[in-house]
Amino acid sequence: MVAPAKVNLSLRVRGVRSDGYHEITTVFHAVSLVDEVTVREGAPGTGCVITTTGDRVESVPGGDGNIAAKAALALARHVGRPATDVSIDITKAIPVAAGMAGGSADAAATLVGLRRLWALDITDSTLAEIAAGLGSDIPFSLMGGTARGTGRGEVLTPVLTDAELHWVVALSDAELSTPRVYAEWDRLMAEGLLAPAGDDDVDAPLLSALRRGDPRDVAAHLVNDLEPAALALRPSLRGVLDAALEYGALAALVSGSGPTCVFLAEGRDAAIALAAEMAGTGLVRGVRHAVGPVPGARVAP
C-alpha cells in the first residue's frame, strides 16, 4: 500500500468548538511524498506489531500507540473480528510530526490494506467513517487528489482541478505537535493578535484558480491561518520562507501545523532549481521535490 502526504492549500480556522477541536475550512492537496505500508497476518496472540523504517522514525510511537495500529483495531472492531494479530511494516518518506499528515497516511494505508487482506465487503464511505473517528486528516488520506474539508477537516468534497503543481518541501530539524500549534493559535487569538476566519466563502478565488490550473494564480491564493502560530513557536521558519521567496518560489508557506515549509514553483525545472538553492542555504535539514495532486491510499502499483 502507498499513501500520500498532504499540503493544505488553504487552512482557515473559524473558531474553537465545544469538543475542543477547531472548526476549519481547508483545501487539502495530496502530493507525491508517500509512505509504503505492508500489512500481513501476524502469529496468533502477537497483537499488532509495527515496524517502522526511514528518517527520524525514533519519534514514531510503536505498538498500540501507533495510529496505524489504532486503525487496525478500529476496523477489526467494526467488522466484529475477535482478535487483531497483524504485522504492519511502514517505510516512511513523509516527514514525522511535521504537518504533512504522515501518521494519517499510515492509518489510511492500513485501512485499505486490511480491507483487502481480510476480504472485507465494506465501502469507501464506511472506511472514511472509521477514518474520521481516528483522526481529522485520515479521510483525506484515503481520498487523495484535491478536496475541500470542513468540520474538523473530515467532511470532504472533491475539488475539480487541472493543475499539476510542483512543490519543494523543506524538512525542519524541529518537530511540532498539532495540538500545541492549535493551542498557540488560541493564545494568539485570546491576546487579540489574530482573529477567526469569517463565514464568507474564503476559498472561492483559490478554487477557481485551481480549476484554471495556473500555478501563479494558485500561488496568489495560498493561505494558512496556523502559520502565525507555527512561526511564534519556531521563529526561525520565517527565514526559511523568506529565502524561498528570494530564490524564486511563487509562494512559500508552512504546511498545516508545521514545521515543514512548502514552496510552490512554476514547474518541474523551477522546482528542481529551487530545491538545489534551498539545500545550499543551510537553513533546512533537507529538501524534496513533490508533485500534486496524486491519488489517496491505494494498493501499490
Residue 22 contacts ligand C5P per CB under 6 A: yes
Q: Which entry of 35, 70, 106, 137 is annotated as an active-site residue?
A: 137
**Helix (H) or strand (E) segment spanning residue 113:** helix 102-117
Question: E strands within 132-235?
Answer: 146-150, 155-158, 165-171, 223-224
Question: Is residue 55 annotated as part of the catalytic site, yes or no?
Answer: no
Taking the complex as a whole, the smallest distance from the CB of residue 62 to ligand C5P amounts, in Å, to 18
Closest CA to 173 of 56, 85, 60, 78: 56
Taking the complex as a whole, the smallest distance from the CB of residue 107 to ligand C5P amounts, in Å, to 10
Question: Is residue 6 annotated as part of the catalytic site, yes or no?
Answer: yes
Pairing of strands 251-254, 223-224: unpaired
> Candidates 18-26, 160-168, 194-202, 212-220 — which segment interacts with ligand C5P by CB under 6 A?
18-26
> Candidates 16-24, 194-202, 213-221, 238-246 — which segment interacts with ligand C5P by CB under 6 A?
16-24
Contact 262, 101 (CB under 8 A): no
Residue 152 contacts ligand C5P per CB under 6 A: yes
- The helix/strand count (H/E) of the chain reads as 10, 11
Q: How far is CA 151 from CA 53, 72, 92, 116, 154, in A?
A: 33, 24, 28, 29, 6
> Candidates 57-65, 174-182, 199-207, 275-283 — which segment interacts with ligand C5P by CB under 6 A?
174-182
In the complex with ligand C5P, which residue's Cβ is closer, 135 or 145? 135
- Among 28, 140, 167, 182, the residue binding ligand C5P under the rule CB under 6 A is 182
In the complex with ligand C5P, which residue's Cβ is closer, 154 or 289? 154
Q: What span, in angstroms and rounded, lies between the C-alpha atoms of 142 and 147? A: 11
How many whole angstroms from its chain centre is CA 3?
10
List 40's β-bridge partners, or say none: 87
> Candidates 17-25, 109-117, 118-126, 206-214 — which segment interacts with ligand C5P by CB under 6 A?
17-25
Using CB under 6 A as the binding rule, the residues of this chain from 86 to 145 that contact ligand C5P are 135-137
Residue 229 contacts ligand C5P per CB under 6 A: no
Chain residues that interact with ligand C5P, rule: CB under 6 A: 21-22, 24, 135-137, 152-153, 178-179, 182
